[in-house]
Structure 1
């Protein structure tokens, strides 16, 4: 797909691919005069001999992270391990719930942490401005075999981290297509009390919302916050794809937001708002405020991705009692046609080092350690299950900021769910062992620390079990912008989507009627949508 831009694009991408091939293969090649294999022990020795190394980071706040007593983002099991293994002191400059905004301000001011994460727009800004360290040699010398094995199958992703033939970032990679789909989540005890076993159609969903209001005292039918996240997660129910680029009716690539299915979805959400199914104050509510309605017993459904069990699992039980957690089911459909689930380009986060920092290799070393602890250590016998579990529960695996990658979990999910459901243990990776034992904590002992994982992969209709079926049934719809973004898209950033979200909100709240959708799309086109669409077709369209 990267060859669709003609001869110039071909030469550019060919050069990048060759550079990546060099990066990935160089450690496997050796000279008879000077062996290139750098072992993990040598890397540790090189670092610790230099004395303490300080590295500053900026971190996103992980809302559901639960630290051990006396610990926090600056002092925890990961920072202690990094200190013990490498004599590296990780210093946290700041933690924020508005991470992208904070990074944008840091880029503008030039006051960057030593290491941090960025999205693809920010990455391109930093690369063009020469504000990042070249990581090519650090990757060549320090990347562990496990990290290289993860990078190898994802060259399309690595290409987006290259600039002038140099590796400027370590991509976080992705968990797999099965982890990207959406689900309808509903309160378990209310489902059972109303005898609801499945929700296949939009009408079924409306009947469920009404039953929860009538029979269970729910104040609202479903949850929504100011980001319109649940609207976007449920758009597939209407065969709408408002956040990805798709083939249009004339064969050209168009933004899904401009197609009539998105208008149909908005009309239905506006109807639900008018009927009182949605909190009237949603436009001012963040995620935490939205979830409080669930914790207070005022709502029992919403559309969300596979990890919703950490939002409406343990905290539901703590607030509303046993059996009140939400469970997943497939999205309802507006008709009998198969639902497809939109897939954005599968790498959204990159780990980078600010220009001028003296030890860029630290980034690679600490990512190696993350992989070793969570996926390799149990199998190679360097850590026991009991030693590893604290690193992977209570969202501790999400607090490391730039020192993280995402593992592909398709086979893990199959192994774990099958082992739990059949009672016959068959686990093929360290992550699978962790997931399995985490689930058993809930299933056998009622320990809430394992409930989120149970709701992901511990029963027949767990979210990721359903997600596997979405992949197996060919229900993934990938965006046409698969890889690098055209410059016009980078230039506009989130401006065009922000315009749409503002307009969608007005329609849902009834401030504007559904006919305003056509006005909104026309405004989007004139504000830059046409320019971006043209750039997308030039880069990815049919030639």
Structure 2
């Protein structure tokens, strides 16, 4: 009898277990279904956008480091604060290769990798490479992982710069995290002037375009450095006339010309700025200035570093450049010659008032993930960490942004991106804190800027001369803020992915553009060659690109 009861009990137990397992199986199926549906509440709860990978994951990458990057003592490309953070967050990161130099060198090496089919798990690409890799089906679709993992801070960046995400989207799918920049401060031009030279030649700060031209001529012919030699020239210029450093974008803007960007005309159509009639007038003026010695007679073979040497060595008195020019090379000029003084001004328009200046597209480069990599969300999480460690509740700006010796540690990060108006906000907040003598409301980056400006203003620390000129109350960012508020900043009008013809022809067209513009300025080609350039540009692919760009433009309405 006991045995029968025992068997009955066992059968009942087995039946109960079977029911429970069946229920668990159904729940498991439900959970699996939930996990595969990005927008379900359960998945949103289980995902931690700032959480570490547990167990750790292996990740291969390629890395680009600019020439100006230096590391704190004891640190290196593979041993620094960001590398330590990635390790802490469960990423075993190994670099297939690293390029320290120019972006051209990096992308050339990446082209070799792409051609061989051997690409790392994560890499930075340019727009042409992005298009090429998407068409070759070599990249992970990031649409869902962006929606699931991106923090509100990261999504907020793309809400302010929606064209950035559009440019990484193909057939409705997101294939990259755009490397956004605070472009209003990074590339939008202002006018820099040696104010000590202004006094030497008995001229006042420029209010009109004629004032600018008069100053340029005086800086060239009236011995502003007082050494008894005619060895100075008015305006700094490198071999990259457009979008280089220093470029002539600001001078072109003074004439109402907007090279290398797409801008809406009165009918709402997008037109290419480099082929508009205003460019011809600006180029004619540049050729005239070159002939009169106001430009370096060898600018066509000098890169930005060589031009910077001229600025540092008291040979140039005027620069059309971005806000950060104050920190390099103008700060080096001040440290070499303590009597050197620089002022920053809005660029006057040839038509009176202040010129409307151009702001390039906010994302020229992109972070992508190789197709088949198991954890494509890694690029989104790295973007989250970058914003969190610089600006979030757990920020440690002196460790991950800029250290107390002025070394930009943020450049060590593999994935980085910034809000387009970040620098404007910083300048505004710092100016307010300086006025009130109260930095308590500043975020870590702003507080760092505030401290540096005080070090210069109160202690005369020339290491922060450039910081004061860039972000101080009378600095470049405040000049740009006024232009921004007045609607005098025009941004790139095309925000789509590279069109088919762009992928095939843009590099050739850009090269042709730079070559003919250089020849015109040198006097090796007449100004009338501009009209021939416009015709050739249209025939060699520009007309088709214009059509494709405007098809995209029409689709946005």
TM-score normalised according to structure 2 size: 0.82
Counterparts of 2:403 and 2:154, CA distance in 1: 22
Q: Does 1:106 align with 2:113?
A: yes
Counterparts of 2:534 and 2:410, CA distance in 1: 40
Relative to structure 1, the CA distance from residue 77 to residue 325 in structure 2 (aligned partners, 3 Å threshold; closer, same or farther) is farther
Q: Please give the residue correspondences for 1:121-136 in structure 2 after superposition, counting only pairs within 5 Å.
A: 121-136=128-143
CA contact (8 A) 1:178 1:468 kept: no
Counterparts of 1:465 and 1:363, CA distance in 2: 34
Relative to structure 1, the CA distance from residue 89 to residue 322 in structure 2 (aligned partners, 3 Å threshold; closer, same or farther) is same
Aligned with 1:317 (options 295, 309, 334): 334
Aligned with 2:41 (options 26, 30, 41): 30
Counterparts of 2:199 and 2:352, CA distance in 1: 25
Q: How many residues align?
A: 507
Match of 1:221, SS state, is strand
Match in the other structure for 1:221: 234
Q: State which structure, 1 or 2, has the greater radius of gyration over its C-alpha atoms.
A: 2
Aligned with 1:53 (options 58, 80, 97): 58
Match of 2:41, SS state, is coil
Q: Does 1:431 align with 2:448?
A: no
Counterparts of 2:46 and 2:303, CA distance in 1: 49
Aligned with 1:117 (options 124, 128, 137): 124
Counterparts of 1:359 and 1:490, CA distance in 2: 29
Match of 1:308, SS state, is helix
Match in the other structure for 2:367: 351
Aligned with 2:428 (options 414, 421, 435): 414
Counterparts of 2:109 and 2:203, CA distance in 1: 44
CA contact (8 A) 2:400 2:410 kept: no
Match in the other structure for 2:304: 287
Match of 2:236, SS state, is coil
Counterparts of 1:306 and 1:206, CA distance in 2: 22
Match of 1:339, SS state, is coil
TM-score normalised according to structure 1 size: 0.84
Match in the other structure for 2:11: none
The alpha-carbon deviation at position 126 of structure 1 amounts to 1.4
Match in the other structure for 1:475: 488
Match in the other structure for 1:6: none
The alpha-carbon deviation at position 81 of structure 1 amounts to 2.8
Match of 1:269, SS state, is helix
The alpha-carbon deviation at position 348 of structure 1 amounts to 2.3
Q: Does 1:160 align with 2:137?
A: no
Relative to structure 1, the CA distance from residue 366 to residue 534 in structure 2 (aligned partners, 3 Å threshold; closer, same or farther) is closer
Q: 1:274-325: per-residue Cα shift (whole Å, max 9, x none)? A: 111111211111111111111222112211111111222332233x322436
Aligned with 2:285 (options 268, 278, 301): 268
Match in the other structure for 1:511: 524
Q: CA RMSD in A?
A: 3.1
Q: Please give the residue correspondences for 1:331-350 in structure 2 after superposition, counting only pairs within 5 Å.
A: 331-350=347-366
Relative to structure 1, the CA distance from residue 76 to residue 234 in structure 2 (aligned partners, 3 Å threshold; closer, same or farther) is farther
Match in the other structure for 2:190: 183
Counterparts of 1:76 and 1:197, CA distance in 2: 48
Q: Please give the residue correspondences for 1:237-276 in structure 2 after superposition, counting only pairs within 5 Å.
A: 237-248=254-265, 252-276=269-293
Match of 2:467, SS state, is helix
Match of 1:494, SS state, is helix
Relative to structure 1, the CA distance from residue 391 to residue 149 in structure 2 (aligned partners, 3 Å threshold; closer, same or farther) is farther
Match of 2:82, SS state, is helix
Relative to structure 1, the CA distance from residue 343 to residue 483 in structure 2 (aligned partners, 3 Å threshold; closer, same or farther) is farther
Match in the other structure for 1:490: 503
Relative to structure 1, the CA distance from residue 471 to residue 387 in structure 2 (aligned partners, 3 Å threshold; closer, same or farther) is closer
Q: 1:38-65: per-residue Cα shift (whole Å, max 9, x none)? A: 2357x31x34x33x73432220x42333
Counterparts of 2:202 and 2:412, CA distance in 1: 40
Relative to structure 1, the CA distance from residue 382 to residue 232 in structure 2 (aligned partners, 3 Å threshold; closer, same or farther) is closer
Q: 1:62-89: per-residue Cα shift (whole Å, max 9, x none)? A: 2333321343333323223322343533
CA contact (8 A) 2:312 2:330 kept: no
Counterparts of 2:533 and 2:46, CA distance in 1: 58
The alpha-carbon deviation at position 143 of structure 1 amounts to 3.0
Q: Does 1:523 align with 2:527?
A: no
Mean Cα displacement is larger for which, 262-271 or 484-493?
484-493
The alpha-carbon deviation at position 477 of structure 1 amounts to 2.1
Counterparts of 2:331 and 2:184, CA distance in 1: 26
Q: Does 1:361 align with 2:377?
A: yes
CA contact (8 A) 1:56 1:115 kept: yes
Gaps of 5+ in 2: 1-36
CA contact (8 A) 2:70 2:407 kept: yes
Match of 1:268, SS state, is helix
The alpha-carbon deviation at position 251 of structure 1 amounts to 6.8
CA contact (8 A) 1:314 1:325 kept: no
Aligned with 1:83 (options 83, 87, 92): 87
The alpha-carbon deviation at position 513 of structure 1 amounts to 1.5
Mean Cα displacement is larger for which, 281-290 or 181-190?
181-190
Mean Cα displacement is larger for which, 270-279 or 61-70?
61-70
Counterparts of 2:180 and 2:400, CA distance in 1: 26
CA contact (8 A) 2:183 2:360 kept: no
Match in the other structure for 1:370: 386
Relative to structure 1, the CA distance from residue 188 to residue 83 in structure 2 (aligned partners, 3 Å threshold; closer, same or farther) is farther
Relative to structure 1, the CA distance from residue 257 to residue 38 in structure 2 (aligned partners, 3 Å threshold; closer, same or farther) is same
CA contact (8 A) 1:492 1:528 kept: yes
CA contact (8 A) 1:172 1:406 kept: no
Counterparts of 1:518 and 1:313, CA distance in 2: 37
